[in-house]
């Protein structure tokens, strides 16, 4: 026992208090970072985490591929005659659905950070308060982009063709990522509000399943009963799916794009302040 | 600046924080002079961490007020954040990132440009003996390394006030001594340190003034000397050869030392707590006399020691209850009178 202890702590170099003293003498402080710079730094942290824990990309790679394959072959024959024809309709929608579903992991990562104890360090820093949250969302925007690219690739292998070309596809993805960024403020709120990771997951499921399934992602809402149509036609996910579908098909669905942007603004304006209130009060 | 004239880094008046029914912090008054290590001593759940969290702007007080370098911790929270740093198990670093990445990240958040952030991180890693571990994820660090990186993260910019919340809890003696060296180096450069601890000897080693806190209240405050004098000169610990002789020995000790005598769970052990008035010198004299009397009574003493007051004893002396609160009746069951009667 006594022989292992010295070798173990011997591996750890001693603290050099003399050089520490020299470092502490410097009392000047650089000016505080701008809101943008602080947010980008937190975004960089999210990227570093992806680098160290690449498994966390599972939900933006394997999960979306599964979604595309599953629904194309499950519903394709019944709803559109063949999977190949169905995917032309389904792909933009399933893209929207999967990415919106993936957003709920934001709440889980916020909650985990609180548990792990890095959170209070950030909260004690003299920086623009929302930058921590914006940082999470910037990192997540990258994940959403990865998911979109993965799904598009799979879709194209299965026969999806975007008439809107590269510009249409890029515009569609940009709108989707923007909406997801705004929508995620719901999850930052829950991540701060709920006590455990499990409860965050549970509540997220309750919100995300009805919201994404009760939309025009799979079928035309005209086949639904009237009361459901009323909900589906006004759901933000429906507007987003129509807008993305239109953009990728080479149209300019101005109304749907406007609705999507309106919903996005609403999400930020309502859940942003609630999140920040919880963040400051935590 | 009012800060300089008052010379106080922290000033609180009637600070209160409640969680539901519990008053975690119940009217705390503190006055911490700048440039010193101020120890806040208390058991688990005494309200130390809650107090620190309020002062570091992480929790909003429910009552009273507090100023850090003259800035109100609620209304001027941002100014406070600009001058303080915090290290506690809750204010840590990101376990998934490497040591170097953590420091660069925090340096960037403090406004350093990338090259400057990298340089500062490398210098601190070097000074803390962590250069070799710089590229390892923090979750693979040992406890001692972990505490070092936590403290390094707190002094990326030299803070005016550093909160160290139980910095050595759970560390082995060697790592603990190294943390102490770091604290001494930090305070030598003019930083004020507020140190919370459960260990009297840690406060004794580092702090110039100490506040003893219990159940959300400051129950004693002063310099180390003042505090010890108020608690007593310490305790005499004895181990007898024959457990049968313990009641006689307890009675003798009680009379010779004019002290409370406690019997330990160990059947041959005895502890006599010396009266508060006794200074350390007279304590030794008293103890010597007591030993003589024991010898004369034919009681063999295997082991004898005269110890400084422990935190338990400080607490017992100051509050009448010991540090582990939910143990009602413990003192009663060990009432010296029972032992003597036996």
Q: Residue B1: is its pLDDT beyond 50?
A: no
User: Which residue of chain A is at minimal alpha-carbon distance from B110?
Assistant: A32
User: Which residue of chain A is at minimal alpha-carbon distance from B159?
Assistant: A27
**CB–CB of A33 and B90 under 8 A?**
no
Q: Are A187 and A110 in contact (CB under 8 A)?
A: yes
Residue in B91, B178, B184 closest to A121 by CB? B91
**CB–CB of A20 and B182 under 8 A?**
yes
Q: Residue A185: is its pLDDT beyond 50?
A: yes
- B7-32 confidence digits (pLDDT tens): 899 999 999 999 988 899 999 999 99
Q: Residue B77: is its pLDDT beyond 70?
A: yes
**CB–CB of B93 and A53 under 8 A?**
no
- Domain-embedded: residue A78: yes
- Domain-embedded: residue A12: no
> Worst-scoring range by mean pLDDT, B72-81, B105-114, B302-311?
B302-311
User: Which residue of chain B is at minimal alpha-carbon distance from A114?
Assistant: B90
Which pLDDT value is given to residue A40?
96
- Domain-embedded: residue A144: yes
- A20-34 confidence digits (pLDDT tens): 888 888 777 889 999
Helix/strand/coil (H/E/C) assignment for every residue in A162-197: CCCHHHHHHHHHHHHHHHHHHHCHHHHHHHHHCCCH
Q: Residue A3: is its pLDDT beyond 50?
A: no
Percent of chain B's residues with pLDDT above 70: 85
Which pLDDT value is given to residue B297?
87
- A60-72 confidence digits (pLDDT tens): 889 899 989 999 9
Interface test with A, best of B69, B101, B110 (most A CBs within 10 A): B110
Closest CA of chain A from B176, distance in Å? 12
- Domain-embedded: residue A170: yes
**CB–CB of B92 and A121 under 8 A?**
yes
User: Which residue of chain A is at minimal alpha-carbon distance from B122?
Assistant: A23
**CB–CB of A14 and B129 under 8 A?**
yes
- B96-144 confidence digits (pLDDT tens): 999 999 999 999 999 999 999 999 999 999 999 999 999 999 999 998 8
Which pLDDT value is given to residue B150?
93
- Domain-embedded: residue A81: yes
Place B324 in a pLDDT band, splitting at 50, 70 and 90: low
| Domains of chain B with bracketed CATH | 2-229 (3.40.50.300), 232-341 (3.30.70)
- Domain-embedded: residue A151: yes
Which pLDDT value is given to residue B310?
64
**CB–CB of A126 and B145 under 8 A?**
no
Nearest CA among A245, A268, A266 for reference residue A256: A245
d(CA B32, CA B36): 8
Which pLDDT value is given to residue B156?
92
**CB–CB of B94 and A45 under 8 A?**
yes
Q: Which domain holds residue A262?
A: 36-281
Round the average pLDDT of chain B to a whole number and report it. 84
d(CA B155, CA B190): 13
- Domain-embedded: residue A84: yes
Q: Residue B51: is its pLDDT beyond 70?
A: yes
d(CA B139, CA B143): 10
The single residue listed with the structure tokens 């859940």 is: A271
Domain count, chain A: 1
- Domain-embedded: residue A192: yes
Which pLDDT value is given to residue B279?
54
Which tops the pLDDT comparison, A19 or B319?
A19
> Worst-scoring range by mean pLDDT, A9-18, A85-94, A134-143, B326-335?
B326-335
Residue in B95, B178, B186 closest to A116 by CB? B95
């Amino acid at each position: 026992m006594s022989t292992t202890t010295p070798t173990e702590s011997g591996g750890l170099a001693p603290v050099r208090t003399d050089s520490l003293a020299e470092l502490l003498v410097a009392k000047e402080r650089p000016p505080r970072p701008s809101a943008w710079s602080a947010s980008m730094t937190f975004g960089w942290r999210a990227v570093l985490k992806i680098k160290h824990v690449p498994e966390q990309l599972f939900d933006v790679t394997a999960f979306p591929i599964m979604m595309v394959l599953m629904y194309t072959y499950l519903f394709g024959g019944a709803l559109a005659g063949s999977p190949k024809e169905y995917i032309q309709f389904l792909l933009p929608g399933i893209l929207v659905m999967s990415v919106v579903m993936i957003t709920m992991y934001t709440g889980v990562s916020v909650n985990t950070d609180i548990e792990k104890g890095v959170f209070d360090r950030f909260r004690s820093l003299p920086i623009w308060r929302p930058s921590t949250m914006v940082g999470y969302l910037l990192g997540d925007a990258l994940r959403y982009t990865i998911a979109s690219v993965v799904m598009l690739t799979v879709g194209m292998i299965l026969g999806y063709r975007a008439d809107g070309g590269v510009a249409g596809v890029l515009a569609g993805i940009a709108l989707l990522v923007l909406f997801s960024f705004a929508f995620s403020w719901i999850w930052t709120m829950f991540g701060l509000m709920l006590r455990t990771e499990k409860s965050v997951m549970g509540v997220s499921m309750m919100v995300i399943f009805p919201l994404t399934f009760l939309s025009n992602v799979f079928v035309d809402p005209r086949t639904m009963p009237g009361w459901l149509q009323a909900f589906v036609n006004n759901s933000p996910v429906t507007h987003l799916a129509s807008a993305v579908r239109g953009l990728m098909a080479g149209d300019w669905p101005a109304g749907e794009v406007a609705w999507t942007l309106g919903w996005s603004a609403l999400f930020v304006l309502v859940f942003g302040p609630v999140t920040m209130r919880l963040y400051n009060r935590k | 600046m009012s800060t300089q004239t008052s010379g106080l880094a922290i000033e609180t008046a009637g600070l209160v924080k409640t969680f539901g029914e519990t008053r975690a912090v119940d009217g705390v008054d503190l006055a911490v002079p700048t440039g010193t290590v101020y120890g806040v001593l208390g058991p688990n759940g005494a309200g130390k961490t809650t107090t620190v969290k309020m002062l570091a702007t992480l929790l909003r007080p429910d009552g009273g007020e507090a100023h850090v370098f003259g800035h109100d911790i609620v209304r001027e929270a941002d100014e406070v954040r600009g001058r303080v740093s915090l290290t506690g198990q809750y204010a840590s670093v990101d376990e998934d990132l490497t040591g170097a990445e953590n420091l660069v990240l925090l340096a960037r958040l403090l406004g350093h440009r990338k090259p400057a952030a990298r340089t500062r991180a490398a210098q601190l890693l070097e000074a803390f003996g962590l250069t070799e571990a710089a590229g390892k994820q923090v979750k693979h660090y040992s406890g001692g390394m972990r505490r070092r990186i936590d403290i390094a993260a707190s002094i990326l910019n030299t803070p005016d006030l550093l909160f160290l919340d139980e910095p050595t809890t759970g560390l082995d003696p060697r790592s603990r001594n190294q943390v102490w060296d770091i604290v001494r180096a930090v305070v030598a450069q003019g930083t004020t340190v507020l140190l919370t601890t459960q260990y009297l000897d840690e406060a004794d080693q580092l702090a110039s003034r100490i506040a003893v806190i219990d159940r959300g209240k400051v129950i004693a405050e002063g310099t180390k000397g003042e505090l010890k004098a108020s608690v007593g000169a310490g305790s005499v610990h004895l181990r007898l050869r024959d457990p049968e002789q313990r009641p006689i020995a307890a009675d003798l000790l009680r009379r010779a030392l004019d002290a409370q005598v406690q019997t330990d769970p160990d059947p041959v052990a005895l502890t006599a707590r010396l009266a508060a008035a006794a200074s350390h010198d007279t304590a030794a004299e008293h103890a010597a006399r007591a030993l003589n009397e024991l010898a004369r009574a034919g009681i063999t003493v295997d082991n004898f020691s005269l110890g400084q007051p422990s935190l338990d004893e400080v607490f017992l002396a100051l509050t009448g209850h010991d540090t582990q609160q939910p143990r009602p009746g413990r003192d009663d069951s060990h009432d010296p009178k029972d032992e003597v009667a036996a």
